[in-house]
Structure 1
Amino acid sequence: MTSFRALTAHRLFWPLALLVLLLLIAAVNDPGFFAVRIQGGHLYGSLIDIIRLSAPLGLVAIGMTLVIALRGIDLSVGAVVAIGGAVACTQIAGLVDQGSVGGVLSAVGLALGLSLVAGLWNGVLVAAVGIQPIIATLVLMVAGRGIAQMITDGQIVTVSSDPYHLIGGGYVLGLPFSSIVAGLSIGLVALLVRRSALGVLIESVGGNPEASRLAGIKSRGMIIGAYAFCGLCAGAAGLMISSNISGADGNNAGLWIELDAIFAVVIGGTSLVGGRFYLGGTVVGVLVIQTMTQVVLSLGLPSETTLVVKAVVVTAVCLLQSPAYRAAVRARFLRRREVVAAANGGPATTAEVPDPSASSAASATPAEVQKS
């Protein structure tokens, strides 16, 4: 029993359990859900589709994880996704030869450069000017969507470029190219933050900015860099989304992706108040979000219900991950069992009931204990 409690207390237990449950529901609804076939030298199947479609959200969520770890938030990633796709498709549509690799690379470089500038803009507003992150990024969230529509003149810009289509819809060695790029990017970030002092510095600044400042850590540059990286990730996601459909829609591209990214980060166990962050948990959260979307569509439910399902699922997972909530539920269950035993004439057991407040105090940081 104790080992089971320890297992359920792990931050990834409930997200992984939810992911397995969603996969089982999909398999019951579609017996061929787990089937993977090779067609034209490429891997096809529902699982491959989930991995391929998770790539853009995975990039955005990894950037969002670092921003949230530094006590920030970025609501503008959806607009930056639209800007990245709009710039690239507009540039490619103006080429004489849309199949030119050099022309496509220059368009991609320009889109990523502008996305990086957008992230830097957010970082400067937050770290240098001192504007609250939610306000600073909300400005670009609104203005960026308008910029994307101005770039496309309010139209859907379509392209016919095989090199560009490779980014979001192509395959390399039988695997989706976008998934390979996302996987390598996530692996590189994980290696950088976990095999160097960067991850410790990020958690230090996010956990206690004042103590970090007194220790000589220059938090301003780290915050600006995190927002810049988040913008770059959003721009890369915009390239994947627009290349997959061979077109840019400044109005709908990346719509609500900022909420999906935040959901993925929260499901993965990273706290919104900053400090400790978990890249592996974020990846699991991304897979949960994408699998949930796939299951809702496979069940024949209206696509509009996806948002409601996401809200319910995220709430449930967050509650199950809370030690205080689990302790309160366990205490209520034990009390009810004692009442039933007493009513049936049996001896009333006095099982030890964990105190939610004690659980919270045990998990509190020294700074929080000192403050209380």
Structure 2
Amino acid sequence: MNTLVKHRLFWPVAMLVALLLSNLAFTPSFFSVEVRDGHLYGSLIDIVRFGAPLIMVALGMTLVIATGGIDLSVGSVVAICGALACWRISEQGDQNSVAGVLVAVALALGLALLLGAWNGFLVAVVGIQPIIATLILMVAGRGLAQLITDGQIITVNSSPYKLIGGGYLFTVPFAILVALAVTALAVLLTRRTALGMLIESVGGNAEASRLAGIHSRRITLMAYIVAGLCAGIAGLMISSNVSSADGNNAGLWYELDAILAVVIGGTSLAGGRFSIAGTVVGALLIQTLTTTIYTTGIPPETTLLFKALVVTVVCLVQSPAFRAKVFKGRRRRPSAPPAGPAAATTEKVEVPA
């Protein structure tokens, strides 16, 4: 049992289960899943479906943080890609054209790759600190998204595009299938090949990795490119789910939720070892918390405060040092040496020359 408690995923999973169970007090049918018109419906399905974009962003953020960096621009990339895709679809004559939608998706994801490469170039090649390099795109990217939408909300009516974030395939929401596929691919590449070890090596000590023959700059550049791509996919999911693009609010503060998901999952912000499974659990925990807030009827003006409080509790419970202080108490001080004859044996004995 002690080994189980010490596992990095124990406390995130325990808090996720506790949040899910707490919803039963307000919604007795919370765990029920049913099929309507050939589609799966239920609160659990909604949590995973609405959490799919956050899972995507958090996966990319995991690789960036594992290299010792940070990406504050993912929220802006979400808004840019959604805006570009919706603008391209709205400009074509037939919005239900599959070819036209594929072109729009390709343009959006291509731009996401370029934006990720730009961040990686500033960090790995130019040598700018990650928080500053990505802050540039965080600010400028939001303006670029509003420039694409002309400051308006672009609405589209495209069934093929709706499939990405709000459609179903084999009775399962398509967004869930995409998140599962990307997660499986990330696990395959980082745990079944040497890529994961190289990323952890660069995050642990980039200079030592370089001296050992590892192309640390290439690894860092790759991590930021993947983060941009994952954010682009999330932007397509969000915009297609609501059939519109809002350059001002789409993906707003998503970078903070992604960082929280990564940290809750057990990945250190200092870089090095990372956990894909922990990131997925952290993202689902944050989405479950959001769902719980709406289910319990917490006032909207206190939503962010309540969310911050719960996340703080989760992080504290995860901390071994905090648990040692709270649950185990302070260690007893060593007792003083015994007095009397026993103490005499410790005295220094002079030996005559």
**TM-score where L is the length of structure 2:** 0.92
Give the number of the structure whose alpha-carbon radius of gyration is greater. Answer: 2
Equivalent positions of 1:159-198 (< 5 A) are: 159-198=156-195
Which amino acid in the other structure matches residue 135 of structure 2? L
Equivalent positions of 1:85-164 (< 5 A) are: 85-164=82-161
Note if 1:76 corresponds to 2:76: no
- 1:211 Cα shift? 1.5
- 1:5 Cα shift? 3.2
Map of 1:328 onto structure 2:
325
Confirm or deny: 8 A CA contact 1:9 1:321 kept in the other structure: no
Q: CA RMSD in A?
A: 1.4
Which of 6, 9, 13 matches 1:9?
Answer: 6
Note if 1:298 corresponds to 2:295: yes
Identity among equivalent pairs (%): 66
Count of matched residue pairs: 334
Distance verdict in 2 for CA 1:304–1:194, change over 3 Å: farther
SS in structure 1 at match of 2:35:
strand
Deviations 1:259-286 (A, max 9, x none): 1100000000000000000000000001
Distance verdict in 2 for CA 1:309–1:138, change over 3 Å: same
Larger mean CA deviation between 39-48 and 206-215 belongs to: 206-215
Map of 1:283 onto structure 2:
280
Q: 1 CA distance for matches of 2:324 and 2:65?
A: 27
Which of 58, 63, 66 matches 1:66?
Answer: 63
Distance verdict in 2 for CA 1:134–1:196, change over 3 Å: same
Deviations 1:165-218 (A, max 9, x none): 000000001000011011101101111100000000000110111211110111
Map of 2:347 onto structure 1:
none
Instruction: Return structure 1 stretches of 4+ with deviation > 6 angstroms.
Output: none
User: Is there any run of 5+ residues in structure 1 with no aligned partner, and where?
Assistant: 336-351, 354-372
User: Is there any run of 5+ residues in structure 2 with no aligned partner, and where?
Assistant: 335-353
Q: 2 CA distance for matches of 1:190 and 1:304?
A: 39
Deviations 1:74-128 (A, max 9, x none): 0000000000000000000011000000000000000000111010000000000
SS in structure 1 at match of 2:85:
helix
Q: 2 CA distance for matches of 1:136 and 1:298?
A: 39
Which of 203, 206, 209 matches 1:209?
Answer: 206
Q: 2 CA distance for matches of 1:204 and 1:17?
A: 30
Larger mean CA deviation between 47-56 and 297-306 belongs to: 297-306
Which of 17, 34, 37 matches 1:37?
Answer: 34
SS in structure 2 at match of 1:131:
coil
Map of 2:237 onto structure 1:
240
Equivalent positions of 1:197-276 (< 5 A) are: 197-276=194-273
**TM-score where L is the length of structure 1:** 0.88
SS in structure 2 at match of 1:32:
coil
Confirm or deny: 8 A CA contact 1:112 1:232 kept in the other structure: yes
